Amino acid sequence: MSRKTHRVSAAVIAAGVVLTFSNAELSGAFAQVTDQGTQTEEQAQGAADATNPIFVSKEVVQPVEELQAQAENAAVATKIASLRKLVAETDSEYQLSEQMRCLAGAIYFESRGEPLAGQLAVAQVVINRSESNSFPSSYCGVVLQRSQFSFVKNGRLPQPRTGSDAWKQAKAIARIAHEGMWDSEAGDSLYFHAKYVRPSWSRKKVARTTISSHVFYR
């Protein structure tokens, strides 16, 4: 073998050794990077687990029906408070005409123990009747019509306790109803009766609403 050939062979061998060591270092470095990468992923996973919210299967919100019921109750309470305020602010010291006395008398004698909405509904029935062709055309004609209101005796309106709060309230409600200052729940009702009775005519009428102890019909 010539010296030239020997040098070439030696160089090839040396290069192979260097390449082997280089591959080994690269493999180690790659393994180190891979290990570091794996560790980082594990750490990241642990951090994610620590920060991610935990979802539960239990119901944490109120049912829609319950929320609706609460909203409706709040609306009713607001309406009641508003009507009470309107009644309190309405002048009840005005001079009564004969017709307004009959309207206030119907409220007083028929419903003074009812809530304000119930008293207003009774007034609305009297007004509706006076505007209907099926009944007399005046408040007194409606109230004093025979066999319509049990408090009427011998075609006459009894004397109310004019100094009582109930009478003052009846006068205020009569004015509110007469002037259309509040939309009554009775709507277009022409009839009503107490819940503890069931008159035969009620089966032929359309129920509009029930307020406290009275049912109102068209």
Q: Based on C-alpha coordinates, what's the Rg of the chain?
A: 45
Q: In this predicted structure, which of 29-43, 85-99, 129-143, 173-187 has the lowest mean pLDDT?
A: 29-43
Structural domain contains residue 110: yes
Q: What is the pLDDT of residue 51?
A: 59
Torsion of CA 68, 74, 77, 81, to 10 degrees: -140
Q: What is the pLDDT of residue 42?
A: 58
Identify the band that residue 58 occupies on the pLDDT scale cut at 50, 70 and 90.
Answer: low
Structural domain contains residue 107: yes
Structural domain contains residue 69: no
Average pLDDT along the chain: 82
Structural domain contains residue 141: yes
Identify whether the C-beta of residue 208 lies closer than 8 Å to the C-beta of residue 218: yes
Q: What is the mean pLDDT of residues 131-159?
A: 96
Using one digit for the tens of pLDDT, what is the confidence trace for 61-79? 667 777 777 777 888 788 8
Share of the chain above pLDDT 70, in %: 72
Tell me which residue range forms the domain holding 147.
80-187
Q: In this predicted structure, which of 14-28, 122-136, 185-199 has the lowest mean pLDDT?
A: 14-28
Identify whether the C-beta of residue 209 lies closer than 8 Å to the C-beta of residue 216: yes
Structural domain contains residue 31: no
Using one digit for the tens of pLDDT, what is the confidence trace for 118-143? 999 999 999 999 999 999 999 999 99
Share of the chain above pLDDT 90, in %: 63
Q: What is the CATH number of the domain that holds 102?
A: 1.10.10.2520
Structural domain contains residue 72: no
Nearest to 149 by CA among 159, 138, 141, 137: 141
* Domain total in the chain: 1
Structural domain contains residue 19: no
Structural domain contains residue 65: no
Nearest to 216 by CA among 111, 80, 86, 139: 111
**Prediction pTM value:** 0.67
Q: What is the pLDDT of residue 54?
A: 59
